[in-house]
Chain A
Amino acid sequence: DVKVTQSSRYLVKRTGEKVFLECVQDMDHENMFWYRQDPGLGLRLIYFSYDVKMKEKGDIPEGYSVSREKKERFSLILESASTNQTSMYLCASDGGYGYTFGSGTRLTVV
């Protein structure tokens, strides 16, 4: 089975901090994605990547950036964390038969 690992299950950060969320997949998939999930809003796409060093903006990229230096790793960066970025962040990897998600990082910005 594909395994997608997110580095932290829970994080608490202060407003203005730079935050790194890491995601690693073990199946050599080219496509990786970052979503956030909020009550009443569902899953919203932040950024995605179809290959190393490639990135594409999703629906809500403002305040975020990403890095894909190696195929297995896709990092989400909050340049200056704000309270409206408090959310559940989900990373996904796609092997062509639907996504496999990591277990999520619940980020609280105080």
Chain B
Amino acid sequence: RKEVEQDPGPFNVPEGATVAFNCTYSNSASQSFFWYRQDCRKEPKLLMSVYSSGNEDGRFTAQLNRASQYISLLIRDSKLSDSATYLCVVTRNSGNTPLVFGKGTRLSVIA
């Protein structure tokens, strides 16, 4: 089983739509979870951390289900500028260990 699995997409959605991405991870010892955004030919940038209680940042909501080893990202009221690849990221183990990146889900928001 891959360490982090994501649907590669692409997800093509109209402006204003709500879109959800999911991700599963294999190591139950993983402690920290993130979503990163990567624009074409650019470096990944941290979008938000993910907590068990769920967290929201404007139009973005992230959820973590430790029991199912499942992470989600919800984007409401999609904008053209949300078009990017979204990377699901977890720590390999507990403690201060390197991050493991999913291969990403590509989103295209169309006018």
Give the number of residues in B that approach A within 8 Å (Cβ atoms). Answer: 18
Q: Is B42 an interface residue (CB 8 A)?
A: yes
**Cross-chain contact B43 with A103 (CB below 8 angstroms):** yes
Show the binding face of B for A, using Cβ within 8 Å: 34, 36, 42-46, 49, 87, 89, 96, 98-104
- Do A42 and B101 touch (CB < 8 A)? yes
Shortest Cβ distance from residue A76 to the other chain B in the assembled complex, whole angstroms: 15
- Assuming the A-B contacts A42-B101, A42-B103, A50-B96, are A98 and B43 also in contact, with contact meaning beta carbons closer than 8 angstroms in the complex? no
How far, in Å, is B98 (CB) from chain A's closest CB? 5
Interface size class of A (residues with CB under 8 A): 20 to 34
In the complex, 12 of the A-B residue pairs with CB atoms within 8 angstroms, ordered by the A residue number, are: A40-B103, A42-B102, A43-B101, A58-B98, A90-B44, A97-B46, A98-B34, A98-B46, A101-B44, A103-B42, A104-B42, A104-B43
